[in-house]
Amino acid sequence: MKNRRWIASVVEIALGLVLTVCGALGVVDTYWSGMGGGLLGVGIIQLVRYLRYYSNETYKSKVDVEVNDERNKFIALRAWAWAGFWYVMAGAAGSIAFQVLGKPELATMAGGSVCLLMAFCWISRIYLRRKY
């Protein structure tokens, strides 16, 4: 597991550099150069976090408690549930608002994303009921 994290960070940094350089040279458009900058930033931050985790025992124990504590797991699951709920509400309201404003393409995208999320929720519920 430790090696995969390092490898993923290095791949993110390398891909980020390639996309950023290609964007600077005009090979790719600004979307991909922006994606490269984001990947570069994420890769560096993750690499720094892993270095700190494996070299600092105090930080390692603090992170392990945060990750494995039941209360923190409960709070994280509730936060995901709330975020999903508010995403569905915002998407549904956005779909209606876009349709009223005469933007049917945006209304379809907002409605489709809500439907996709609800389908994922339904499939996950079926899977988890069978598993547990």
Q: What is the pLDDT of residues 17-40, one digit of tens each?
A: 999 999 999 999 999 999 999 999
**Residue 16: which pLDDT band, with cuts at 50, 70 and 90?**
very high
Q: What is the dihedral of CA 10, 12, 13, 17, to 10 degrees?
A: 140
Flag whether the pTM goes above 0.85: no
Q: How far apart are CA 112 and CA 98, in angstroms?
A: 13
How high is the pLDDT of residue 1? 52
How high is the pLDDT of residue 110? 97
pLDDT average, residue stretch 46-50: 93
Which amino acid is it at 7?
A: I
| pLDDT, tens only, 60-103 | 999 998 889 999 999 999 999 999 999 999 999 999 999 999 99
How high is the pLDDT of residue 95? 97
pLDDT for 45 beyond 90: yes
